[in-house]
Amino acid sequence: MAKNICITRINNLLEKSSIKKVKQEEIMNAIQTAMAEKRLSNIDEVNVDAIAKDVSEQIKGQKKKDKINAIKDEIIIRKSIEKVLTNFANKEKEGLISLLVGSNDIVPGAKDGVAQRQGSAMANLIGGANIALKKAGVYEMFKNMDIKVQRRVTNTIAELSAQKTVIEERAGLKPPITEKDPDIIKVAEVMENYSETVRQMLNERGANIPKIWGWVIKQSNDMFEARGAAKRLGLKLDDIVVDPNLKGTDINYNKNYTAWKNFAMQKLDGDRTFIKTDDIDSFMLNSYNSIVGNKTQVTQGIDSVYGGRNITKGAGNKRILHYKTANDWFDYHEKFGTGTLQEAFFAGLHTAGRNIGMIDKLGSTPTENFKKIHYAVNKRLVESQRSTESIKSFEPFVKFLYEVDGTSRTVDNFALAKYSSIIRNVGAFSKLGGAVISASADVVLYGSEMSSQGDTFLGSTADAMGSLARLSKSQDKKDIAEGLGFIVDGQIHDTAPARNQIGDNLSKNMSKIQRIYYELNLLTPWTNNLKQNAMLSMANYYAKQKNLKFNQLNKELQNLFTKYNIDSVKWDVIRKKAVVKADDGKEFINIAGLDTIPDIDMERIIGRSDLSKKELQVEKTNFKYSVSGMLLDRMIHAVIQPDARVRATMTQSFRKGTPMGEIMGFVGQFKSFPMALVNMVGGRDAALFKAGPNQDVGRGIRGMAATYTALLLFGYISMTLKDILKGRGPRDPKKKETILAALMQGGGLGIYGDVLFREQRDSSTVIAGLAGPSITTAADVILALNYGIRGEGGNAGKAAYRSVSQNIPFANLFYIKAAFDYLIGYQMMETMSPGSLKRVEQRMKREYNQEFLFTKPSTQFKGF
């Protein structure tokens, strides 16, 4: 290995070299790198003079890149400070938050933050890969690759990469491609070419990522598989011998680390992996801790980019595991990677997109740059005697920073995070069976969002209902939606469950179960269809305005564009270059047209004419991402999904696996929809009040009134559908209890109907229900024990039965629940507590003036 080469001999060779100015440590590092990358075993094969000269050029280039990055960072910092102080005067805290996760305020760039850019970059990278696969005619094959084909594709990717390296270094000597299947070669070509494109995109933004075959897919690590390495490898923990020097009291952790390390070391290319360290054990332990703690997903600028390196002295490199061959990598990936090769590919693009968004908006060192912005803003306020405690402290911004840099996804105590996640998801699988019925309010929010943009409320609501009736669209329109950044739920992350609870880190098996469940309860197809239609409706609505200049647009649309930094110059380019016709003649905004806008238009947009071709291309991409980001962001307002601001508010910067992090997870379960409703929809309308006399305050009032009145109506419809499925008639709409329940349904708290408004619940269990369904279950168990202690056997049995029956995964699916009740449930209730069915009927009549549609259960079921 390179670290064992005789240092004295290298120094002697360096002393004989003609190069005098470059520091010996840098030369020696470069020689080690050259030997590792070119597979040289004999130092005499290394031309020290040539390597030293090359290092000199690389160091000059790195220093130039560092200087450019520093200049770009300074520009970003100054512009951000000015944006906060000018656009958010007297509300600077909100301005600082907007830089990270956006704001509802009606000011220029209020929504143009890191989170919005990350979402757009991720969606466009993944959508672009899908489009490339479709153009090559291998999309279906890519989707359906089995494990054997995945391995063949991986080997072909490595061979294609080697060909390119040889072409560059040895004047066209091509090693052969051993794969014979032309479609497998095409898949590999698309994946490798796209991987290279994304790597170059990051390098153009200041990173220094060397050529690495399969750069995107090689970021794949599964924290759950690594933490359970012994089981994954079929080993018994008792048979694993742990290094006595390993610290820590968790012996199982150390044994799993040892199993993981022993397997990985067989596959790793040590010459390249450990080139900058003599302490292999520490390197591997740190790598393992990063994987198990999900720290590999943290994005903190160019130094955190996978494979990034800085060759100047004293600069660190991103820890990276290099493998001997493609087969060795695939062996590792099969055991400890993030699912299939396809999933690894999309996961790598997901991480790259988050990095791009972070760098574009906050520069090469985003955390440090944001701290500088905060410090400068506070300093200016102190100088003007306007500083307050809320702006002086950095603490209020940490939760938002953690959300965009990925720290909120890291794990502190793995076991606590894992089992808490399992409990929450079992709760979800047993309580969200009717979620799609509760989601009927989506059509109202869809209409409300389009109305806020100047379209009609009733027309847009009807459009949403119509889209549900036509479950398929033309391929042409699907392609347009994909080009705008729409990604089908489940391709890389699942938005359906995220609508009801802030997501946990899930194992492969739990992820599969989750996806199956949300397909069965119909929430995934419902959400996909509405979101795609919302994206197309907005793109069509904007295209209809193509003949209007910016100042001729309606006030609502001007406000919207302003919040996303789209001004008159940008709108002119969009309306002239980004409008396409679908196969039915309808016109849509399509951001693909922005790739080919003339340089002169780009120079007008950015107000500069001194940029290089590469810099102009980066700016074009940024412009495209900003337009796509607006559509994506408004899409999750139309079909509510918690945005980064809501997620940060709910996690409050507490990481998974910490006591407070898990408490927040349990308390916040199923509350992300109502939280999003209040913050995103309510915040949107409330912004009109805060904007003052320059805006139509009455429009804000009308918007809120229309939205919440319609939510009440659709809440009642949703509630009635649920009752009919249970064999019950409609509730009396004149009863205040009915109105309250309808408001809860329409406001996203529909799942609490069964939890909170049920007989035999005291005030403490109602409070527990508000705290979260898992806590409600615990309250049921405690209630059963309490009844048992008091000798009330019937009540104890009923409470115990309820705690079990209400937590059976999949039994709550809306088309199963009624059958379960009539076949088993009602009999069990009457057995446990005779007369309970009669009491239920009396309560229904008393509170809602409601009766069963058919035979009353109390007359039919007398217990087992």
Secondary structure (H, E, C), 496-547: HHHCCCCCCCCCHHHHHHHHHHHHHCCHHHHHHHHHHHHHHHHHHHHHCCCC
SS3 content of the chain, % helix, strand, coil (to 5): 70, 0, 30
Contact indicator for 483, 131 with CB cutoff of 8 Å: yes
The DSSP secondary-structure symbol of 247 reads: -
Contact indicator for 802, 783 with CB cutoff of 8 Å: no
Buried b (16+ CB within 10 A) or exposed e, 654-681: bbbbeeebbebbbebbbbbbbbbbebbb
pLDDT for res 270: 85
pLDDT for res 757: 40
Contact indicator for 37, 322 with CB cutoff of 8 Å: no
Confidence of residue 109 (pLDDT cuts 50, 70, 90): very high
Q: Which of 784, 815, 817, 814 is nearest to 802 (CA)?
A: 784
pLDDT for res 314: 44
What pTM value is reported for the model? 0.86
Confidence of residue 8 (pLDDT cuts 50, 70, 90): low
Confidence of residue 319 (pLDDT cuts 50, 70, 90): low
pLDDT for res 574: 95
pLDDT over threshold 90, residue 486: no
pLDDT (mean) for 484-492:
70
DSSP 570-597: HHHHHHHHSEEE-TTS-EEE-GGGGGG-
3-state secondary structure of 732: coil
% the chain with pLDDT above 70: 84
Q: Which pair of tokens denotes residue 650? A: 């709910």
Q: How far is CA 685 from CA 98, 107, 489, 708, 748, in A?
A: 17, 14, 28, 12, 18
- pLDDT tens-digit map of 205-224: 988 888 888 899 988 889 99
- In sequence order, which ranges of 19-104 are alpha helices (DSSP H)? 24-37, 48-87, 92-101
Q: Which pair of tokens denotes residue 441? A: 């309010």
State how far the Cα of 182 lies from the Cα of 412, in Å rounded to an integer: 46
Q: How far is CA 704 from CA 102, 449, 527, in A?
A: 21, 11, 23
Cα–Cα–Cα angle for 585, 587, 589, rounded to 5 degrees: 155
pLDDT for res 167: 44
Cα 358 to chain centroid, rounded: 14
pLDDT over threshold 60, residue 502: yes
pLDDT (mean) for 105-113:
94
Buried b (16+ CB within 10 A) or exposed e, 251-264: eebbbbbbbbbebb
pLDDT over threshold 80, residue 241: yes
pLDDT for res 763: 46
Q: Which pair of tokens denotes residue 637? A: 């307002």
- pLDDT tens-digit map of 151-208: 999 999 999 988 766 444 444 556 788 999 999 999 999 999 999 999 999 999 988 8
Q: Which of 216, 332, 188 is nearest to 268 (CA)?
A: 332
Contact indicator for 214, 195 with CB cutoff of 8 Å: yes
Contact indicator for 672, 642 with CB cutoff of 8 Å: yes
Determine how many CB atoms are found less than 10 A away from the CB of residue 488.
17
pLDDT (mean) for 709-714:
76
Phi, psi angles (nearest 5°) of residue 721:
-60, -40
Confidence of residue 783 (pLDDT cuts 50, 70, 90): confident
Q: Which pair of tokens denotes residue 782? A: 């405690």
pLDDT (mean) for 569-596:
90
All residues at 6 or more sequence positions from 159 whose CB lies less than 8 Å from its CB, including other chains:
175, 176, 177, 178, 179, 326
Q: Which of 311, 254, 336 is nearest to 25 (CA)?
A: 311
pLDDT for res 708: 74
% the chain with pLDDT above 90: 36
In DSSP terms, 587 is beta-bridged to: 581
pLDDT over threshold 60, residue 317: no
pLDDT for res 3: 43
pLDDT (mean) for 626-647:
92
Determine how many CB atoms are found less than 10 A away from the CB of residue 24.
15
Q: Which pair of tokens denotes residue 497? A: 């469950």
- In sequence order, which ranges of 580-694 are alpha helices (DSSP H)? 599-606, 613-638, 644-651, 659-668, 672-676, 683-690
In DSSP terms, 589 is beta-bridged to: 579
All residues at 6 or more sequence positions from 804 whose CB lies less than 8 Å from its CB, including other chains:
none
- pLDDT tens-digit map of 357-400: 999 999 999 999 999 999 999 999 999 888 787 789 999 999 99
- Which single residue is written with the structure tokens 């009624």? 818
pLDDT for res 313: 45
State how far the Cα of 192 lies from the Cα of 169, in Å rounded to an integer: 19
pLDDT for res 275: 74
DSSP 187-219: HHHHHHHHHHHHHHHHHHTT--PPP-TTTTGGG
Which of 58-72, 291-305, 403-417, 773-787 reaches the highest mean pLDDT? 403-417
pLDDT over threshold 70, residue 706: yes
Region of poorest pLDDT, from 502-506, 574-578, 695-699: 695-699
Cα dihedral angle (506, 223, 632, 744), rounded to 10 degrees? 30
- pLDDT tens-digit map of 27-37: 666 666 655 55
Q: Which of 794, 853, 784, 842 is nearest to 818 (CA)?
A: 853
All residues at 6 or more sequence positions from 699 whose CB lies less than 8 Å from its CB, including other chains:
556, 688
DSSP 264-320: HHHHB-HHHHTTT-S-HHHHHHHHHHHHHTTGGG---SGGGSTT----STT------
Cα–Cα–Cα angle for 571, 572, 574, rounded to 5 degrees: 60
Contact indicator for 112, 102 with CB cutoff of 8 Å: yes
pLDDT (mean) for 770-788:
72
In DSSP terms, 323 is beta-bridged to: 268
Region of poorest pLDDT, from 107-111, 316-320, 558-562, 586-590: 316-320
3-state secondary structure of 419: helix
* Higher per-residue pLDDT: 740 or 235: 235
Which of 224-228, 524-528, 692-696 reaches the highest mean pLDDT? 224-228
In terms of C-beta density within 10 A (0-12 exposed, 13-18 middle, 19 or more buried), how is residue 424 classed? buried
pLDDT over threshold 70, residue 745: yes
Q: Which of 305, 299, 215, 225 is nearest to 264 (CA)?
A: 225
- Which single residue is written with the structure tokens 């574009």? 360
pLDDT for res 538: 92
Average pLDDT, the chain: 82
All residues at 6 or more sequence positions from 180 whose CB lies less than 8 Å from its CB, including other chains:
none
pLDDT (mean) for 719-735:
82
Q: Which of 766, 746, 535 is nearest to 634 (CA)?
A: 535
Q: How far is CA 540 from CA 427, 472, 572, 847, in A?
A: 40, 18, 17, 47
The H or E element that residue 348 is part of is: helix 341-362
Q: Which pair of tokens denotes residue 74? A: 């300074």
The DSSP secondary-structure symbol of 409 reads: G
State how far the Cα of 176 lies from the Cα of 210, in Å rounded to an integer: 23
Q: Which pair of tokens denotes residue 387? A: 């500083």
Confidence of residue 672 (pLDDT cuts 50, 70, 90): confident
